[in-house]
Amino acid sequence: MKTRVKHRIVIIVALILSILYFSNDFSLIDIEKTAIIVAMGIDKADEGVEITTQIGIPQATDQALDNQDTLISAKGKTVMDAMEILSKRSGWIPKLSFCNVIIFGKELASDDISVIVDHLLASEHFQNSALLAVCDGKARDFLSTPTPLDAISSFAIQKVILENGATSSSVLDTNIKNFCQKNYGRDKCGYMPYIRIISGDAKGQDSSSSATTDYEIEGDNRPIDGLIDVLPLAEGSSDGGGGGGGGETPTAIFDASKTAVFKGGKICDILTEKETIAFNLLSLPADRVIITVQADGKNSALEIINSRHKVWLDYGVKPTLNMKLILTVRIADGSDENGEGNSLGRRATVDKKFLKSLEKDLSDTLEGLAKRQLESETDLFGIRNLTYKFNNAKYEDYKKIPLSNYQVKTHIHVSSRDKTDENT
């Protein structure tokens, strides 16, 4: 009898639990009303900020890749205020979990982005792994620019920024976490890729190395005035991997080989392509980074296949910032301007003159970069942090030394990949 009562109680409890479980919607929001935001641009507005969100709309697999993505923008006093206005006016619930790129307009970044980045870090809505970048102009214009690289321009930007997240590359990428870690750390300094638009032809023959800061936005996608503007991109389709679309072929290609340096939340310097690569080599292990060097009037593209790096401080007679790079390279392309290539190609050992040239090039670049940063009291190389970690006992004394008083020393050694390696 007792057992039967027990069983009945268990069944009733199980039923109650099932009702609780299956009647719950897990607070999922209506997918019809959900805007999956894949990128966001933040610009300075007259009062507060203007956000431009790029929404990814799922497409049927049996249709050609149409440019159905839509940009929605709104102005508000803060990012979340603008987001709320956007939500109210559009009736869409913004889902920011998939927002993988956040682009700041140059005007805003020159002002101060600390508060906004702080919000991005603290907000539960954003993924802290979202990439950050600053653009040469208005973020809104960048997101509305069609590109042949992808149907959704932010995806193309994302590809450009995230060349290879784990190793050195020509782009110094960062995300919310990494930027904040440096900005709120002892360095009080950070960096972001500096995106530019290059006007090339439809085949994308223009190369980033010849990029200039001048850019041209194709088409007229500029929004009408108002609190909230819906900016459908030009209709049309493209075949294959092409995107963008519109009556004319999109020509804009993004470049992120320069880097914006931030101090106290404001842009204080822009690193050149060379400086970006050199600084990246000091931060991450290199893998397949290609640098073209010149010696005796000949060019050689060298591929860095292995690297070791170290940055340390020496508080001897004069405080010194030491930077060490040990690189192993091989020939990526030995052709000269006349098209006369090295017949051995990648198997050949690199001529010493090219190695020396690369050493000098990197040394000069890093030294110039470091001196420029130190003179402006920008702790890009993390001197305060290094002092705290490795000279902690005297940190309080050493942190009073102005950065401009530091000497810079570089120790660069470049060697060719050994011939015997080729057999392995």
Partner 1 sequence: MMSPNEQNKLKLRQICFIFLAFMPVTKISLLPSVLSGFCEERLWVAALLGFLLDIGVLFIALHLYKKHDNCTLFYLLENKFSKGAAKAVYFGYGVYFILKAIVPILEQQDYVHNTLYEISPSAAVFVPLFIVSFYQSLKGLKILGRCADACIWLTGLGLFLVFFLAFNIVDFTNIFPIVQKPTYKPVNALFRSIIWFSDSVYFLLFLGHFEGEKKQTLKVVGSYGLASFIVIFFMVVFYSAFGSIAKTRFFATTELTIYSLAIANSARFDYIAIILLMFSQVFAIILPVYLATKCFERAFGLKKALIPAIIINLLLAVFTVVFTEKLFTVLSFMSNYLSYVFIFFGYVIPFALLFIPKEKKLENTSKA
The answer to the question of residue 87 lying near partner 1 (CB under 8 A) is no
- Please tell me the distance from the alpha carbon of residue 77 to that of residue 89, in angstroms, as a whole number: 16
The answer to the question of residue 26 lying near partner 1 (CB under 8 A) is yes
The least distance separating partner 1 from the CB of residue 263, rounded to whole angstroms, comes to: 16
The least distance separating partner 1 from the CB of residue 182, rounded to whole angstroms, comes to: 8
* Cβ atoms within 10 Å of 351's Cβ, excluding its own: 17
The answer to the question of residue 128 lying near partner 1 (CB under 8 A) is yes
Stretch in the footprint of partner 1 (CB under 8 A) among 19-27, 39-47, 248-256, 412-420: 19-27
The answer to the question of residue 311 lying near partner 1 (CB under 8 A) is no
- Please tell me the distance from the alpha carbon of residue 110 to that of residue 79, in angstroms, as a whole number: 17
| Strand ranges (E), 45-188 | 49-55, 70-76, 93-95, 101-105, 131-135
Site string for partner 1, 384-403 (x = CB under 8 A): ----xxx-xx----------
- Please tell me the distance from the alpha carbon of residue 202 to that of residue 147, in angstroms, as a whole number: 9
Stretch in the footprint of partner 1 (CB under 8 A) among 66-74, 125-133, 286-294, 348-356: 125-133
The least distance separating partner 1 from the CB of residue 113, rounded to whole angstroms, comes to: 16
The answer to the question of residue 344 lying near partner 1 (CB under 8 A) is no
Residue 50 vs 173, nearer CB to partner 1: 173
Residue 43 vs 173, nearer CB to partner 1: 173
Q: What share of the chain is helix, strand, coil (3-state, %, to 5)?
A: 30, 30, 40
Residue 186 vs 266, nearer CB to partner 1: 186
SS3 category, 244: coil
**Residue for token digits 């009303």?**
33
Instruction: Yes or no: say if 323 and 333 are a contact pair by the CB < 8 Å rule.
Output: no
**Closest-CA residue to 251 (of 146, 382, 165):** 146
- Please tell me the distance from the alpha carbon of residue 204 to that of residue 118, in angstroms, as a whole number: 37
**Closest-CA residue to 139 (of 123, 116, 168):** 116
- Please tell me the distance from the alpha carbon of residue 49 to that of residue 42, in angstroms, as a whole number: 7
The answer to the question of residue 409 lying near partner 1 (CB under 8 A) is no
Give the footprint of partner 1 on residues 185-214 (CB under 8 A): 185-186
Stretch in the footprint of partner 1 (CB under 8 A) among 48-56, 73-81, 182-190, 219-227: 182-190
DSSP string, 209-239: GG--S-----S--PPPSSSEEEEEPPP-B-S
The answer to the question of residue 383 lying near partner 1 (CB under 8 A) is no
The answer to the question of residue 17 lying near partner 1 (CB under 8 A) is yes
The answer to the question of residue 224 lying near partner 1 (CB under 8 A) is no
Count of chain residues binding partner 1 (CB under 8 A):
33
Interface pick for partner 1 out of 124, 220, 225, 337 (rule CB under 8 A): 124
The residues binding partner 1 (CB under 8 A) are: 13, 16-17, 20-21, 24, 26-29, 95, 97, 121-122, 124, 127-129, 162, 165-166, 175, 177, 180-181, 184-186, 388-390, 392-393
